[in-house]
């Protein structure tokens, strides 16, 4: 009986310690995830609002859900560049989340940045991939240790995004070189809401679908539409955005 009681006490202590360990790990991990998400969202704001002079100002009420927050971007002259917000839609195998920037008249897309997706590798994931400019010739030359005069395969270093809050300037100077962007995302630039139509063939007036990933393409478009609809609804209904 005494031994049984000892085992019970030991098992209880072990269970308590395990629970404390799991809880502590969860809290630490949760905080790290929040910090990482904030970093991703901040970088995305600079991407979709090109030319902003400082961190975009949140203009929705403080208790607004993260995905429903709206930001406004100002340039170095104090002029309003546009607004930005997040949008989401269900893709083929995951939720696709995007950050979208529009001009001050809410008419043209300034840029989009897909901030979360877990789509099929090699298909849906192409929406975040930067296409290689390597040619067969340059690859063969590199394999045999020779260089090509064409330099199509020359790799460009992606910029190191740093947000210096003490000296925030033109975001175009963030990084060592001009940032390369995924081709799929770049085709949204300067398009209107009504041009967000998926086309299975190359069409500069529409959004060209990713081959073999039509569902993912449609979801990305719906996520962008969701963000724009949200901004139009909120900014046209309320007056706090004018402040």
**pLDDT attached to residue 147:** 42
pLDDT by residue (tens digit) across 155-178?
333 333 444 434 444 454 444 445
Q: Would 140 be classed as within a structural domain?
A: no
Distance, CA of 37 to CA of 219 (rounded, Å): 21
Q: Would 43 be classed as within a structural domain?
A: yes
Q: Is a pLDDT exceeding 90 seen at residue 193?
A: yes
Name the one residue in this structure whose structure tokens are 């997040």: 86
Structure tokens of 28?
A: 């630490």
In residues, how long is the chain? 243
Q: Would 173 be classed as within a structural domain?
A: no
What is the extent of the structural domain holding 79?
A: 2-130+181-242
- What is the number of domains present in the chain? 1
Percentage of the chain beyond pLDDT 70 is: 73
Q: Would 175 be classed as within a structural domain?
A: no
Q: Would 229 be classed as within a structural domain?
A: yes
Strand duo 109-116 + 95-103: pairing: antiparallel
Q: Would 161 be classed as within a structural domain?
A: no
pLDDT by residue (tens digit) across 48-84?
999 998 889 999 998 999 889 999 999 999 999 999 9
**pLDDT attached to residue 185:** 97
pLDDT by residue (tens digit) across 119-159?
999 999 999 999 765 555 555 666 565 444 444 444 333 33
Nearest to 94 by CA among 129, 136, 127: 127
The predicted model scores a pTM of: 0.71
Structure tokens of 183?
A: 């081709």
Q: Would 176 be classed as within a structural domain?
A: no
What is the average pLDDT score of the chain? 81
Structure tokens of 224?
A: 């962008």
Distance, CA of 186 to CA of 204 (rounded, Å): 11
């Amino acid at each position: 009986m005494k031994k049984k009681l000892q085992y019970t006490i030991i098992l209880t202590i072990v269970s308590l310690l395990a629970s404390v360990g799991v809880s502590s790990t969860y809290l630490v991990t949760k905080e790290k995830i929040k910090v990482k998400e904030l970093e991703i969202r901040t970088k995305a704001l600079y991407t979709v609002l090109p030319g902003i002079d400082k961190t975009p100002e949140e203009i929705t009420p403080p208790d607004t859900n993260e995905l429903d927050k709206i930001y406004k971007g100002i340039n170095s002259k104090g002029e309003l560049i546009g607004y930005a917000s997040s949008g989401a839609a269900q893709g083929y195998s995951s939720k696709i989340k995007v950050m979208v920037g529009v001009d001050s008249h809410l008419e043209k897309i300034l840029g989009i940045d897909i901030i979360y997706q877990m789509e099929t590798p090699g298909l849906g994931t192409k929406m975040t991939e930067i296409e290689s400019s390597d040619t067969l010739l340059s690859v063969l030359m590199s394999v045999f240790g020779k260089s090509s005069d064409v330099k199509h395969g020359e790799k460009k270093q992606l910029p190191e995004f740093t947000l210096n809050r003490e000296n925030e300037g033109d975001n175009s100077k963030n990084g060592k070189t001009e940032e390369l962007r995924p081709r799929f995302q770049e085709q949204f630039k300067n398009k209107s809401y009504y041009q967000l139509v998926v086309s299975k063939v190359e069409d500069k007036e529409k959004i060209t679908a990713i081959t073999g990933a039509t569902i993912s393409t449609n979801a990305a478009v719906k996520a962008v539409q969701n963000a724009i609809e949200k901004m139009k609804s909120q900014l046209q209904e309320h007056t706090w955005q004018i402040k």
